[in-house]
Structure formats: structure tokens, C-alpha cells
Amino acid sequence: MSGIRGQGPADTLNPESRFPIPGEDRVASILIVEDEPSIATALEDALRLEGYEVHVVGDGLSAERAALRDRYDLILLDVMLPQKDGFSVCRTLRGAGLPTPIIVVTARTEDVDKIVGLELGADDYVTKPFSLGELSARIRAVLRRAGGEAAACSPDVWEHGPLRVDFRRFEASSGGQAVSLTPTEFKLLHAFVQRRGEVISLDRLIELIWGEGISLTDRVVYTHVNNLRAKLDQAGAKDVVTSVRGVGYRFDG
């Protein structure tokens, strides 16, 4: 199994570590999208052992059909897939308004490939070869962010003047007209809304939007934030994002 490292003591999976869905009497369901049978079987067995409900598909088109048809709490999405690659699948699902968290699995180690997945709307990534312990920890972290944190402090819908943004459906409109936001812009706006009134540093924004360990220049962050601000201004939510010189940004919407 070229994608999974051998387990040591730290990688032993614990059946009691299953992640319950906040506010619901059930455990999380996971869609595994992996075309290598040996890896798919190992992942399915390991995650079932942890108590997750698991469904496996082996190509990109089947992944899209399953994700849009059934309810999953997380999608584990390989990049190199037959029929349709994982990046294209991610783009299609986010374009359809599917909010389900996605962890991209890639054999590529370059930051640019990780950034592509995150820019398309993925929530995290893991690089092959990986340990089952690492994957389990990432799954729990993503579910916690998507479920517990969102339920505790984040509205599903934000409205300001004529602008209405539905974060679960990845939809935005102003005066009944659609407003086109990229997945990264949705994530940025969601992070700002969650932390209304706080000053958020550039390093913290990178961690929130692109994940830990990603190396980005300040200019990349400036570009995304400025694009978002321009769209918000045009949609009727003017001056809700303020630059704090030498620190970062504050959201007052």
C-alpha cells in the first residue's frame, strides 16, 4: 500500500475516538474516494473500526453522484482518479453549493498543489504516504471545525444591507441578483463573520483559510482580501473590512 505508512504505537486507532455530530445522536459518515483497492480497503476498515459510517467509490464521476445524492459529513478525496480528477470533483461540488467538508489526498508534495485544492474549496489536505493516525487526527479536526465550532459561534447566513450570504450553500445575492464569490472568498468572509470586531493577523488568516504549514506571501493574502472587499462594496456591503496597519484586518459587518 504505497499511500499508507506502516503503523507504530502512535498510529493505533482507537474505537472510542469516533467523532459524534454536535447536537445529533449519531456518528459521522464519510465518503472515501480512492481508486487503489488496497488503499481504499485499508481506509474503510480503519475508519469503520473508529465507529464512522463509511461508503467507498473509485472514480470521480461516482464521487460526484454519491456526494450530491446522499448526506455525508466528510469527503476523503484522492486527487489522481479515473474519469475525473479530484480537483475537478471538488470544483463541481462547491459549484453546486455542497458544503460538506473535503480532505484532499495527494501524492504531490509541492505547496502549489495543496493551495490549488484549498482554493477550490477543500478544507484540508493530507500527503501520501500518510499514517492512519495522522489521517484520523485531521478528520476529527475538520469535523470539529465544521460542526462544533460552526454550531457554537457561526451563523449559516450573514446579511448586510441588500447582501445575503448563505455559507452552507455557498450562495450570495444582492437585491435578488447573484454575487459571484470564489470558494476562498466564501472562506475569508466566513472567517471574518465568525470573528466580527476582532483584529485578525495575516498569519492567522493563512492558518484559517489555507491551513497550517502552507507558505504564502502577504501579497497573496492582500489580493484575495482586496478582491473580496471590492465585491462586497459593489454588492452594497461597503467598508465592512478594515485594514489595520502593520497587523491585519478587522471585520465590522
Domain borders along the chain are: 9-152, 157-251
CA angle 197, 209, 247 (to 5 degrees): 45
102's grid cell: 473535503
How much of the chain exceeds pLDDT 90, in percent?
39
The model carries a pTM of 0.62
The strand pairing partners of 164, in sequence order, are 159, 173
pLDDT digits 0-9 by tens, 178-227? 999 998 899 899 889 888 888 888 888 888 888 766 778 888 899 999 99
Q: What is the pLDDT of residue 3?
A: 67
Tell me the CA distances in angstroms from 183 to 10, 95, 141, one per residue in order: 35, 9, 20
24-51: pLDDT as tens digits: 445 789 999 999 999 999 999 999 888 8
Fold match flag (9-152 vs 157-251): no
Task: Indicate the CATH number for domain 157-251.
Answer: 1.10.10.10
CATH topology for 9-152? Rossmann fold (3.40.50)
Rounded to whole angstroms, how far apart are CA atoms 194 and 207? 15
- Crossing angle of the two packed helices 218-234 and 202-209, in degrees rounded to 10: 80
Q: What are the residues facing 55 on neighbouring strands? A: 31
Mean pLDDT for 138-147 is 82
Cell matching residue 143? 469535523
Least confident of 70-74, 109-113, 203-207: 109-113
Q: How far from 118 is each of 39, 52, 78, 162, CA to CA, in Å?
A: 23, 24, 14, 29
User: Is 33 or 138 the better-scoring residue by pLDDT?
Assistant: 33
pLDDT higher than threshold 90 for residue 17:
no
